[in-house]
Amino acid sequence: MSAVSVSPLYLLDILILFWVMLGLAGLVLQRSKYVIAHVIFPLGALVSLLLAAVAFLSLGEAPVSLVLPFGLPDLPFHQRLDSLSSFFLILLGVATVGVSLFGSGYFRHMDGKTLGLLCLQYHLFLASMALVLLADDAYMFMVAWEAMALSSYFLVTTDHAIPDIRKAGYLYLLIAHVGAIAILLSFGVMQGGNGISAYTFDAMRGAHLASFWASAAFLMALFGFGAKAGLLPLHVWLPEAHPAAPSPVSALMSSVMLKTAIYGILRVTFDLLGTQLWWWGVLALTLGLMTAVFGVMFAAVQGDMKRLLAYSSIENIGLLLVGIGLTIIFHVYGKDALAALALTATLYHSLNHAMFKSLLFIGTGSILHATGERNMGRLGGLIHSMPWASVLMLVGVLAIAGVPPLNGFVSEWLLLQAFLLSPGLPNSYINMLVPVAAAVIALSAALAAYVMVKFYGVIFLGQRREKVLEHAHDAGRWERAGMLWLALACVGLGLAPVFVVGQIDHVTQMLVGTQLGNAATDWMFLSPVDTDRASYSPLYFLLAVLGVMGLTVLLVRRLYHGRMRRGPAWDCGYPAQNARMQDTAEGFGQPIRQIFEPFFKIEREVPSPFDTHPKYHGHTDDKLWFILYLPVKHLTEKLSAWASLMQHGRIHLYLTYTFATLVVLLIFV
Amino acid sequence: MIDLQLLALLLIPLFGSGMLAVFGSRPWAAELNSLMSGCTFVASVVLAMRVIDSGPQVAFNEQFFIDQFNVFLVALTAFVAFTTSLFSRPYMRIEQHHGKLSVSMLHLYYSMYQLFTFTMLVALTTNNMGILWVAMEAATLTTVLLVSLYRTPASLEAAWKYFILCGVGIALALFGTILLYFAAERVLGEGGTALLWTHLNQVKGELEPTVLKLAFIFLLVGYGTKIGLVPLHSWLPDAHAEGPTPVSAVLSGLLLNVALCAVMRSKVLVDGSLGTHFAGNLMMGFGLLSVVVAALFLSRQKDIKRMFAYSSIEHMGLITFAFGMGGPVATFAAMLHMTVHSLTKSAIFFAVGHAVQKAGTQQMENIRGLLQVSPTVGWGLALGTFAILGMPPFGVFASEFLIITTAMHEYPWTTPVLLIALGIAFASIFGKMQPIVFGETTVKPLPHPPALIPVFVHLLLVLMLGLYMPPYLADWYRQAAALLG
Amino acid sequence: MTQVPFTLQFINLLAALLLLIVFAMLAQRRILSLINLFALQGFVLALSTFVVAYTTRQHHLYYSAALTLLLKVLVLPLLLHRLIRRLNVRWDVETLINIPTTMLVGIALVIFAFNLAAPISQLAQGITRGLIGIALASVLLSLLMMLTRRKAISQVVAFLSLENGLFFAATSATQGMPLVVELGIALDVLVATFIFGIFFFQIRETFDSLDISHMEKLKDD
Amino acid sequence: MMLTPEQTLAVVFQITQLLLVVLAAPLLSGWVSQCQAWLQNRSGAGVLQPYRVLHKLFHKDAVMAHNASWLFRITPYIVFGCMWLAAAIIPIIAVDLPFSQAADVIALVGVFALARMFIALAAMDIGTSFGTLGARREMLVSFLAEPALLMVLFTASMISHSTQLPRIVEALAHHQFVLYPSLAFAALAFVIVLLAENARVPVDNPSTHLELTMIHEAMILEYSARHLALIEWASSLKLFAYISIGIALFLPHGIAEVGNWPVLPLAIGLLMLKLMAAGAGLAVLETLMAKMRIFRAPEFLGTAFLLAVLGLLIHFLLGA
């Protein structure tokens, strides 16, 4: 293709460099907030768009690679652009267009110094994420990976005056670092041949590992990337860090950064490791299921809107991992068509999640702007004062709840199809596992709907729980643009699945060696395997619903005389109803808390009926924190207390150490 | 010619210390100090160029020997000494302003600073194991005076411990040297040449293994005390915490390297003579132990300088481990780590120094929210900390990456230990550093403007080494690594 | 010839004497006599150096013998005497662990050192057979002495006797290091002692005692 | 595009069913309540009562709370549309419905979910405590009922290797009376789901407004006139849809083949019988059982969920 005769990698690198430049420019131009907000961020969005475009053009082309003259002397930076990385680059680009547009409106109100720094960190964050996707050797990957962690850490701790936010940042970076260590170990296991040049991905592809070492590498990678993705039980940082960050940053972290972890798992499992074992898939599947249910359960009981979204991200990561697990199982048992189906579902879902989750997060951002309130218990009735935000958010909510004809449903549909087609695996245990897994998926999807009704209903509907909410203003121009972009993406992904799947086919072709294709001749019908088995056409669906609705409206107009008046809400004979009597978020989550009681660590004080000033306080905690994390902490503390006895301050003791060392060495020679 | 250059390198600091012994109490003593260090640095660069061009050479009838390995350390030492002198100019002024230092103390400080540089350069460049010992002892003596500069009980105690422990250590090293000589004279005959490293290196195959084993143990324990290898490290945190900050910077940035260089010299001989990996294994063992124990120590520290002293122990352990592993990549990595550690650690100490001066205490719980009062110090400290913790894209990560990957290939079982230790260290230091840099503040502004150019110069260099290593530098390291094998 | 030459016997005698003196120092409670013993040790050292110089006809060894005599027998003891007079610390030094135990440990050390040095002694040609062992023993004993002393001065004396042991190894065992080295070593020892002196006064004026147990503030916990 | 005769026929079928269900749905719910009346020896209001109610509601003036937003107003149409569609794509008379190409069983469940979300949101829109209470309970019931329904459908589609209702029905209708143990479990689960989803005793009671127990009624408390009419109509459509799903899954026999005119009347007659039987059965169930506490409901539905999963597992085990 002559249009991109110059290797697309050059273009991508230039674009990434441009991001960095923008960041630096922001740092320099601290004085003029206007420029940063209304020039730099939109330019960043433009760069994202171009990035996505380039990646899209090179999707399905032959992989191109490039060696940059940086990095270690014997291990310069290797870069490679293949379908997998292009796909995730598209994801990155499309999502960040919206977020950056939103950001230019959102960050407007910060003070210059913070804004300048934030602009730098933000664009470094974008650049490092893109580089992670392009890296083709362990060193560059690690550098980009940790740079991503570091920049996002600084973003998370933007308003570091608040101790909780510092705590969140600490937890985040610590777990990220531990994860990075695990990833490094897994690369070390996978290294091909000896010498430092064995750390290029090509060498790793070449290395054929014994199944034991391959498993070790896979487990390490799963641990490391899982730590970044918020996989159970490494998720504890996520609900702390995502809410702490400014909303656009939360959006990026939830929607894109977590996907880089998914990318890593896919890259290691299907690309770097030549062979897979069936139990990897089972492990991933089970972990994924646990994560999904756990996440959505905790989302249901949250009172803080951003924490709620963070937990829902955990749920979605769980679903993605389920998809990966299925893919591995099918691939191992040679059912590549099914593997392709499961993988398609996974990739599709990560694309969808990127879109609606960032939409929702930036939506909470503009709510924060309008009201300065994150606690859903103090919101409500915003649909009247924030029409734009409410409509766009509704799209996001319906999408994430997985109802047709929006995008969330498509990936869910594909995933369930993968389950339905799965019987006939040689291993009967896995055969038993499959329906249970399907059931759990269905359950968590239904719970997600519950959560989202709570989210939207408590925030936007009902009466205003606080007086101040009357003055809440709608999202500004830029914010609106960003949200609109993402909402459109959701709708588009929902309505044109055939096209999207066609694109994803390139990736599945690369990873599992087959592609889904589309059995239906008609571009309107998505049918993964065969039209008789299953088919779904969102467009017809939409048309039908609209048609029927239109018909209804017409009939009603015809039959009905159309008189309507406003009156007070019916108070059931109890006149003194006020806004505080609506369900709060806690109230809405209460049934879930009651049903899944054993999973939560609940502490609450309920007032007695005779309290003059009754005060209810309830708090649900994550048991895993107490079961898994605190013991480790205490162990280290004990060890170090033990060690520090050594440094006792008495010089005789120190001399004795020298003496003893000497004697011991002399004896053992 | 080489004699001249070497002479320049050695005489400038000596002359400088003489000058400062005379003029040390003048107001411009600080500038003179920096000037001298600057000249030393220039001289070292000239020498380095020369050596890179025309390989290893000896000077002053073989009493001095310069190869890529020690000339790289010479350049590094001179550079850090120079930047430290730049930093110490305002720092010491502020100390004086706070009334911690009298003019006479400053006088002592400046002259001793130059003398210390001199001793280190001698120790690095000498070819004679005996003179090496003498220089090390002299370095100890000068630094003892520097550590006890404040004359506070704490500083006195620290200096005393430092003195006694390193004195004993050094004495043991002398015994090792004597044993070496004992073994050598039977091959090289009596008299001068029997202690010259170059000659020993040629005949190392014939040296008596049993004696050399014994000798190496003494040398390792002796110089290891100065490197700060666990369990010989006890003096190090005290000395770093109680001495003036510039001294802490040069101590952990330079002196430790010099001692390590001495150990390396002996290692080359011993392993050459034994034909086994005896010395290497010992060094690996000590290195691993140091990394683990230091990491455990970190999490309980309350004094900020003490904490970074322990982190120096940890990194020295890592470097020793790498040198112990041997092989081109590991040695390369070790030297790279030496470089980045010196640069980063001294940069951190610079920033810490000003932070401490602002807060008026070394207790970490009283230093808060640096970013609010002086963002430069805050960012310097934050970035330096992340760099020393091995966060990419800083150079420390590059060397750690090389070390760990090599270890995975050579000694897989060590890597989990190392990585866990590094993780613990990360958790501890990062956890302590975050509230110091971020959050609400308690600290107050300074009488004199702080000198932070050195901090950011160092950090930029480290950053560059992480992302891009100039080819000639890489070749230089490679040659040096080849020398050490 | 089987008959051992007189000089060698003499050197061995001196070596034995050296070891004996170290033991005596280890057992010694009074600081004053500790210093005297140190001076005596220096004298023995000088003598042995002289003999070695005579037997091996190495002239620079005469210098170092003279140097030793000057430094270890005259200068340092005098310095120390003046110090303890100025600081009037002539009282007893009490040991941390009681003397018989120290002695037993010391003997164990000596045996250990001899066994360690045995293979080396086989290699040693000429007069130096077995001297390495004694040198090593005295080094270890002096180290032990440093461990057991609580007063700053006695610790320093122990340190100096350690240096003596080394010096003995240097001169007698390996018939003398090159002169440059010995000069350097001597210089360092001298400077070290001066610095010690300065320290004594500073410690004295800050802790108004030379008891090291005052200096246990810097620690982790 | 040009339609072949079969396709035109299919379209005709589709449209007839569309009209038929929307007209027949109230009749079914009327029939159910009439049966209940008989069982409780009341003389009921007659089978046509629902039509009268709708007629009445369509002639009233609508009252809407001050706080109601656009979402509140569009919801009835969406709900009605969804239910109508759902009822229309289930093959009850004939197998080949062109539209069921576009939406298979999973999509069908999706349609129900869509309607449910909107009605729950609308209930929260006014901001009375009842509305939110109803919404919460509705979602609570559904988050267990929906996966159970999905599992039931999965069992069927596993047997018939398809997720498209027509294919399922074909497959089940043509194996003459093969006994599927898995389907037995599924049927049991399905009945529970049907009761729960259509706000029937023991989970809910459509005929009372008792605060402590009501779910569905609590949600639609604020609706009046035409909106209420649409909602009522929608719920009767929902009932119709569920029952016909049940029929399609568990006794599809006698359904008309593709483009097979002569059996059509027979098929319709059969369908009538089936529907009447099902309605009567429902009435019997409701009369026999007692309303349970709201927090027993999750356990009840949990049982359904477990039964459904069990059915699926059994299918995996026995392949039947």
* pLDDT per position as a tens digit, A370-384: 888 888 888 888 888
Contact B423 A166 (CB under 8 A): no
Q: How confident is the model at residue D272 (pLDDT cuts 50, 70, 90)?
A: confident
Please indicate, yes or no, if residue B44 is contained in any of the structural domains. no
Contact D144 A409 (CB under 8 A): no
Contact B164 C159 (CB under 8 A): yes
Claim to verify: residue A365 and residue A450 sit in the same structural domain: yes
Q: Does A193 touch chain B (CB under 8 A)?
A: no
> What residues of B are in contact with residue A155 (Cβ under 8 Å)?
none
Is the distance from CB of A51 to CB of A471 less than 8 angstroms? Answer: no
Q: Which residue of B has its CA nearest to C171?
A: B178
* A425 token code pair: 């695996």
Decide: D and C in contact? Rule: 3+ Cβ pairs under 8 Å: no
Q: Which of residues 166-185 of B touch C (CB under 8 A)?
A: 167-168, 171-172, 174-175, 178-179, 181-182, 185
pLDDT of residue A200: 87
Which runs of consecutive H residues, i.e. helices, occur in D40-128?
49-58, 70-88, 105-126
The CA distance from D13 to D10, in Å, is: 5
The CA distance from B120 to B255, in Å, is: 7
Question: Chain-centre distance of CA C139, in angstroms?
Answer: 7
Q: What is the domain partition of chain C in residue ranges?
A: 6-214
Which of the residue ranges A149-158, D148-157, D186-195, D263-272 would you say has the lowest mean pLDDT?
A: D263-272
Burial of C99 (0-12, 13-18, 19+ CB in 10 A): middle
Claim to verify: residue A419 and residue A306 sit in the same structural domain: yes
Average pLDDT over chain C, rounded to an integer: 82
D interface mutation test: which of A570, A593, A596 has the most D CBs within 10 A?
Answer: A570
> What residues of B are in contact with residue A195 (Cβ under 8 Å)?
329
pLDDT above 90 covers a percentage of chain C that reads 8
Entry field: residues in chain B: 485
Q: How confident is the model at residue D212 (pLDDT cuts 50, 70, 90)?
A: low
The DSSP secondary-structure symbol of C30 reads B
Highest mean pLDDT among B448-457, C129-138, D109-118: D109-118
pLDDT digits (tens, 9 = 90+) for A62-95: 888 889 888 888 888 999 999 999 999 999 999 9
> What residues of B are in contact with residue C172 (Cβ under 8 Å)?
none
pLDDT above 70 covers a percentage of chain D that reads 92
Read off φ and ψ for residue A621, nearest 5 degrees. Answer: -120, 170
Helix or strand (DSSP H, E) at D64: strand D62-65
Pairing type for strands A75-81 and A64-72 reads: antiparallel
Please compute Rg for chain B using Cα positions.
21
Claim to verify: residue A594 and residue A667 sit in the same structural domain: no
Claim to verify: residue A375 and residue A286 sit in the same structural domain: yes
pLDDT of residue D319: 66
pLDDT of residue B372: 81
pLDDT digits (tens, 9 = 90+) for A534-549: 888 888 888 888 888 8
Partner residue facing B157 (CB), from C125, C178, C218: C218
Q: What average pLDDT score do residues A130-146 get?
A: 92
What are the E-state strand segments in A514-586?
564-567
Which of the residue ranges A617-626, B158-167, D77-86 would you say has the lowest mean pLDDT?
A: A617-626
Q: How confident is the model at residue B225 (pLDDT cuts 50, 70, 90)?
A: very high
Q: How confident is the model at residue D257 (pLDDT cuts 50, 70, 90)?
A: low
Q: What average pLDDT score do residues A185-204 get?
A: 82
Q: Which of the pair, B340 or D158, is modelled with greater confidence?
A: B340
Is the distance from CB of A306 to CB of A458 less than 8 angstroms? Answer: no
Contact C195 B163 (CB under 8 A): yes
Average pLDDT over chain B, rounded to an integer: 89
pLDDT of residue A3: 46
Q: Does B33 touch chain A (CB under 8 A)?
A: no
ipTM here: 0.88
Per the structure, the count of domains in chain A is 2
Which runs of consecutive H residues, i.e. helices, occur in D161-294?
165-174, 181-197, 216-219, 225-250, 263-288
Q: Does A142 touch chain B (CB under 8 A)?
A: yes
pLDDT of residue C1: 42
- Full residue range of the structural domain in which residue B431 is found: 277-485
| Coil, strand or helix at C90 | coil
The DSSP secondary-structure symbol of A579 reads G
Is the distance from CB of D130 to CB of D65 less than 8 angstroms? Answer: no
Rounded to 5°, angle at Cα A138 from A133 and A142? 70
Q: How confident is the model at residue A2 (pLDDT cuts 50, 70, 90)?
A: very low
* Long-range CB contact pairs, C211-215, < 8 A, 24+: C211/C150, C211/C151, C211/C152, C212/A651, C212/A652, C212/B160, C212/C150, C212/C151, C212/C152, C212/C155, C213/A650, C213/C150, C215/A651, C215/B156, C215/B157, C215/B160, C215/B161
Q: Which of the pair, B399 or D266, is modelled with greater confidence?
A: B399
Read off φ and ψ for residue B379, nearest 5 degrees. Answer: -65, -40
Contact C219 A663 (CB under 8 A): no
Q: How confident is the model at residue B192 (pLDDT cuts 50, 70, 90)?
A: low
Q: How far is A402 from chain C (nearest CA, A)?
A: 56
The CA distance from D81 to B189, in Å, is: 107
> What residues of A are in contact with residue D161 (Cβ under 8 Å)?
533
Partner residue facing A643 (CB), from B235, B297, B408: B297
Read off φ and ψ for residue D207, nearest 5 degrees. Answer: -105, 10
Please indicate, yes or no, if residue B325 is contained in any of the structural domains. yes
Is the distance from CB of D144 to CB of D302 less than 8 angstroms? Answer: yes
CA C11 → CA C55, C126, C132, C137, distances in Å?
10, 12, 12, 16
Q: Which residue of C has its CA nearest to B137?
A: C188
Nearest residue to A478 (alpha-carbon basis) of A102, A38, A35: A102
Please indicate, yes or no, if residue B351 is contained in any of the structural domains. yes
Q: What average pLDDT score do residues D146-171 get?
A: 84
Claim to verify: residue A322 and residue A397 sit in the same structural domain: yes
Please indicate, yes or no, if residue A286 is contained in any of the structural domains. yes
Claim to verify: residue A587 and residue A661 sit in the same structural domain: no
Q: How confident is the model at residue D289 (pLDDT cuts 50, 70, 90)?
A: confident
Is the distance from CB of D116 to CB of D267 less than 8 angstroms? Answer: no
Please indicate, yes or no, if residue A394 is contained in any of the structural domains. yes
pLDDT of residue A36: 84
Please indicate, yes or no, if residue B432 is contained in any of the structural domains. yes
pLDDT of residue B246: 93
Partner residue facing D107 (CB), from A420, A458, A541: A541
* A382 token code pair: 């915003």
pLDDT at residue C181 tops 80: no
pLDDT above 90 covers a percentage of chain B that reads 47
Q: Which residue has the tokens 């939110």?
A: D132
> What residues of D are in contact with residue A587 (Cβ under 8 Å)?
132, 136
> What residues of B are in contact with residue A223 (Cβ under 8 Å)?
none
pLDDT at residue D94 tops 80: no
> What residues of C are in contact with residue A652 (Cβ under 8 Å)?
96, 147-148, 150, 212
Nearest residue to A404 (alpha-carbon basis) of B112, D107, C64, B456: D107
Task: Tell me the angle at which helices D225-250 and D263-288 cross, rounded to the nearest 10 degrees.
Answer: 110
Q: Which residue of A has its CA nearest to D62?
A: A564
The CA distance from B69 to B78, in Å, is: 14
* A179 token code pair: 């994860």
> What residues of C are in contact with residue A651 (Cβ under 8 Å)?
212, 215-216
The CA distance from D121 to D131, in Å, is: 9
pLDDT of residue A1: 41
Contact B190 C175 (CB under 8 A): yes
Claim to verify: residue A391 and residue A456 sit in the same structural domain: yes
Decide: D and B in contact? Rule: 3+ Cβ pairs under 8 Å: no
> What residues of B are in contact with residue A665 (Cβ under 8 Å)?
217, 220-221, 282
Residues in Cβ contact with D116 at an 8 Å cutoff, skipping those fewer than 6 apart: A449, D138, D139, D142
Q: What average pLDDT score do residues A338-367 get?
A: 92
Highest mean pLDDT among A188-202, C44-58, D3-17: C44-58
- Full residue range of the structural domain in which residue A411 is found: 276-554+582-599
Q: Does A638 touch chain B (CB under 8 A)?
A: no
pLDDT digits (tens, 9 = 90+) for A36-45: 888 899 999 9
The set of chains that have 3 or more CB pairs under 8 A with A is: B, C, D
Q: How far is B203 from chain C (nearest CA, A)?
A: 18
pLDDT of residue A95: 94
The DSSP secondary-structure symbol of B231 reads T
Claim to verify: residue A588 and residue A663 sit in the same structural domain: no
> What residues of C are in contact with residue B153 (Cβ under 8 Å)?
206-207, 217
The set of chains that have 3 or more CB pairs under 8 A with C is: A, B
Q: Does C118 touch chain B (CB under 8 A)?
A: no
Q: Which of residues 127-146 of B touch C (CB under 8 A)?
A: 128, 130-131, 133-134, 137-138, 141, 144-145
Q: Which residue has the tokens 């060690």?
A: A643
Q: How confident is the model at residue A606 (pLDDT cuts 50, 70, 90)?
A: confident
B interface mutation test: which of A174, A178, A665 has the most B CBs within 10 A?
Answer: A665
> What residues of A are in contact with residue C215 (Cβ under 8 Å)?
651
C interface mutation test: which of B151, B160, B301, B364 has the most C CBs within 10 A?
Answer: B160
Per the structure, the count of domains in chain B is 1
Which of the residue ranges A16-25, D102-111, D177-186 would you say has the lowest mean pLDDT?
A: D177-186
pLDDT of residue A399: 93
pLDDT at residue C89 tops 60: yes
> What residues of A are in contact with residue C219 (Cβ under 8 Å)?
647-649
Q: What average pLDDT score do residues D268-284 get?
A: 88
Please indicate, yes or no, if residue B162 is contained in any of the structural domains. no
Nearest residue to A374 (alpha-carbon basis) of A597, A582, A165: A165
Please indicate, yes or no, if residue A433 is contained in any of the structural domains. yes
Contact A463 D85 (CB under 8 A): no
Contact A139 B237 (CB under 8 A): no
Q: What average pLDDT score do residues B189-214 get?
A: 84
Average pLDDT over chain A, rounded to an integer: 87
pLDDT at residue D79 tops 50: yes
pTM for the whole thing? 0.91
Contact B168 A174 (CB under 8 A): no
Q: How far is D39 from chain A (nearest CA, A)?
A: 32
